[in-house]
Amino acid sequence: MYEFYLDDEKLPLPPSKFTTTVNNSNTTVDLLSIGDVNVIKDIGLRDFSLEVLLPGKPYPFVSTLDSFKIPIYYLVKFREIKESKKPVRLIITRILSNQGEIFSTNIKVSIEDYTVEEIAGEEGDIHVILNLKEYRKPMLKVIEVQNNSDGTSEVTEEIQREEKEKATEYTVVSGDSLWKIAKRELNDGSRYKEIAQLNGIQDPNRINVGQVLRLP
C-alpha cells in the first residue's frame, strides 16, 4: 500500500503511475590531445512524475473518506503551491500487506508543472499529471577583494551554503517514533517529551502516519 502526501495534504488515492528520474549533471569536454572527456559532477536533481486521480465522489476505495475533499480543493492547492514559489515536502510511505515497510521518501520538491484532464463518462473525476523536481538550496559565493600596500590586489572566493531552515512542523511517516523525530529534527532524541507536550500527546508511543506535529 502506498500513501502520498504533499506537505500535510494526503492525496485521496495513490498515483496510478509514479516515476523517478535521476538526472545527469556530468559534462563532456573536447580536449585537443585526448578527444572527448566526461567530467563527472555531483548527482543531478531528481524528477518525479505522478498520475493522480482526484475522485469527484467519496468512492469506497478512497483513502481519505474521513476528510473527503472534492477535486477543486486539490487543484486550488496545487496552484497555491506554484504561486508561492516555495518548495513543499513530498512524503511517500510504502507498506507491504504484512504491515512491513519497504522504505519511505521524505524530501522537498517544487511543482514544475501539472496537467489537468477530464474524461467523458467520468463526470466529476479529475485526472492530474504532476511533475515535481527535487529542491536543493542554492549555495552562496562570497568574493572578497583585498588591496595590498604594494598596489596589488588579492581575490578570494568562498562557497557558503545557506543555513538550514529550522522546521516548525513535521508530518509523521511509517516507521517514525517521537524519539526518532526528535533525533532527526532537533538533534536530540531525549527531546521527544517536548514534542509530545507541545502536541498534547498523552502516550508518546502512539502517533499516526500523516499526523502533523508542531516542533519546539
Instruction: State the CATH number of the domain containing residue 49.
Output: 2.40.30
**What's the average model confidence in pLDDT over 186-191?**
85
State the total domains in the chain.
1
Q: What is the pLDDT of residues 93-142, one digit of tens each?
A: 887 776 666 777 888 999 999 999 999 988 899 999 999 999 987 765 55
- Whether 97 maps to a domain, the answer reads yes
CA distance 32 to 29: 10
- Whether 164 maps to a domain, the answer reads no
CA distance 148 to 89: 48
Q: Answer for the pair 78, 130: CB distance below 8 angstroms, yes or no.
A: yes
- Whether 69 maps to a domain, the answer reads yes
Q: Answer for the pair 18, 49: CB distance below 8 angstroms, yes or no.
A: yes
Q: Distance from CA of residue 116 to its chain's centroid?
A: 21
- Whether 177 maps to a domain, the answer reads no
CA distance 71 to 82: 17
- Whether 99 maps to a domain, the answer reads yes
- Whether 16 maps to a domain, the answer reads yes
What pLDDT is stored for residue 80 in this prediction?
Answer: 94
Q: Distance from CA of residue 179 to its chain's centroid?
A: 22
Q: What is the pTM assigned to this prediction?
A: 0.64
- Whether 130 maps to a domain, the answer reads yes
Q: What is the pLDDT of residues 128-187, one digit of tens each?
A: 999 999 998 776 555 666 777 776 666 565 555 545 556 678 888 877 889 888 888 888
Q: Per-residue pLDDT for 47 more than 90?
A: yes
CA angle 42-145-153, nearest 5°?
A: 115
What pLDDT is stored for residue 153 in this prediction?
Answer: 64
Residue pointed to by grid coordinates 549555495: 139
- Whether 179 maps to a domain, the answer reads no
**Segments forming the whole domain that contains residue 97:** 1-136
Q: How far apart are the first and last CA of the chain?
A: 32
